[in-house]
Amino acid sequence: MSRYRVIQWATGYVGAEAIKGVVARPDMDLVGCYVYDPGKVGQDAGTLAAIAPIGVAATNSVDEICAIDADAVVYSPMMANDGDLIRLLESGKNVVTPCGWVYPRRDGRTAEIEAACARGGATLHGTGIHPGGITERFPLMASALCRDIRHVRMEEFSDIRNYGTASVVREIMLFGQPPDVAARSPMLKVLANGFLQSIDMVADALGFRLDEKKRTTHEMAVATREIATPSGPIAAGTVAAQRFCWQGTVDDEPVITVRVNWLMGDGHLDPDWRLGEQRFEVELDADPPVALTFHGLHPPVVGEHPEIGLVAPAMHCVNAIPAVVAAAPGIATYIDLPLLHGAATSSRQR
């Protein structure tokens, strides 16, 4: 069995789950760990991931990371930095990341990254969950069962009460703000960076010739009473639910829809939007019609262990490593890679 030498870049929630995933696979060894916090330098990567020590000390030196003999890096910072990414690729390390690059547009930035891949003989793969799976990989997988595909919908239903960072919920997502303030939310643009790539990937794979401009909408619902949340109370009359939508059209008719529903629970909203169970949905209007519903990918609504919602994007990175290492240098998308899969629990492995 081939063994893959892996470096983890950043040890937040996604990074910690990726470390656990690398340790759990019988064909991978963690050989390096990059951290931003000086207080983490020198600590064992296993300790940083809340598991047993594994003998790998964290560093904040990019030079040290680039000097390590490794097959791949799981690159999961809060915000991607093109300079760091280029250095990793030029050092000959394949990179798997949940920070974009799912299906990048052909522009100068992409050309620069591809040139770095060529210089290092390395591959970059963008993945994740939404975007990075629900909105590209799984609808394309299901489309193999269909003919005459007319419309593809990919949709998220999430309870934002489980999002514990108050500054993000209130100052960036703008929950708890009056509707006229929340209407200026940056999230439509921020999320579009990924979801427009998703729409383009599905369109190109299925053969839709999309209109030049995508259709976007942002809807809101307000609280009809005060709502208690971990980030503080949401006052009656302020925004307690938001719906973002992006659509690819052909002759002004929607053929691909990506929709995000963020609600502060059920039963106290105007309009009376309903969340139900947290889930992701994929639906194809085709012959035959196919629908998929994904449960278990969200953290608990209110409670401990918010990292549960980040296990899937972390493992989508880790489990892609063998295919990415085998791929030709350059940017590799789901269209370029073979079927990805996980590994059996250690107690049941041969």
Q: Determine the pLDDT at residue 122.
A: 98
Are both 141 and 286 inside the same structural domain? yes
Note whether residue 304 is domain-resident. no
Are both 116 and 252 inside the same structural domain? no
Instruction: Measure the CA–CA gap between 269 and 236, rounded to whole angstroms.
Output: 9
Q: Is 209 helix (H, G, I), strand (E, B) or coil?
A: coil
Are both 149 and 114 inside the same structural domain? no
Q: Is 126 helix (H, G, I), strand (E, B) or coil?
A: strand
Are both 23 and 104 inside the same structural domain? yes
Note whether residue 56 is domain-resident. yes
Are both 283 and 146 inside the same structural domain? yes
Are both 65 and 167 inside the same structural domain? no
Quick check: 163 pLDDT over 80? Answer: no
Note down the domain range covering 41: 4-129+312-348
Are both 274 and 152 inside the same structural domain? yes
Are both 79 and 178 inside the same structural domain? no
Q: Kindly report the length of the chain.
A: 350
Q: What is the pLDDT of residues 131-142, one digit of tens each?
A: 999 999 999 999
Tokens of 111: 């050309």
Are both 75 and 169 inside the same structural domain? no
Quick check: 290 pLDDT over 70? Answer: yes
- Once rounded to an integer, what is the mean pLDDT over residues 335-342? 91
Are both 99 and 180 inside the same structural domain? no
Q: What is the pLDDT of residues 56-77, one digit of tens each?
A: 999 999 999 999 999 999 999 9
Q: How far is CA 282 from CA 14, 239, 339, in A?
A: 24, 27, 19
As to burial, measured by CB atoms within 10 angstroms (0-12 exposed, 13-18 middle, 19+ buried), residue 57 is: middle
Indicate which CATH number applies to the domain containing 20: 3.40.50.720
> In angstroms, what is the C-alpha Rg of the chain?
21
Q: Determine the pLDDT at residue 70.
A: 98
Q: What is the pLDDT of residues 296-313, one digit of tens each?
A: 888 877 666 666 778 999
Note whether residue 17 is domain-resident. yes
Q: What is the pLDDT of residues 19-61, one digit of tens each?
A: 999 999 999 999 999 999 999 999 999 999 999 999 999 999 9
Give the CA-trace dihedral at 337, 338, 341, 346, to 10 degrees. Answer: -90
Are both 95 and 187 inside the same structural domain? no
Note whether residue 250 is domain-resident. yes
- Once rounded to an integer, what is the mean pLDDT over residues 204-216? 97
Are both 145 and 245 inside the same structural domain? yes
Quick check: 195 pLDDT over 70? Answer: yes
Q: What φ, ψ does residue 234 adopt, rounded to 5°?
A: -100, 115
Q: Considering its fold, how many domains does the chain have in total?
A: 2
Q: Determine the pLDDT at residue 306.
A: 63
Note whether residue 306 is domain-resident. no
Q: What is the pLDDT of residues 225-281, one digit of tens each?
A: 999 888 889 999 999 999 999 999 999 999 999 999 999 999 899 999 999 999 999
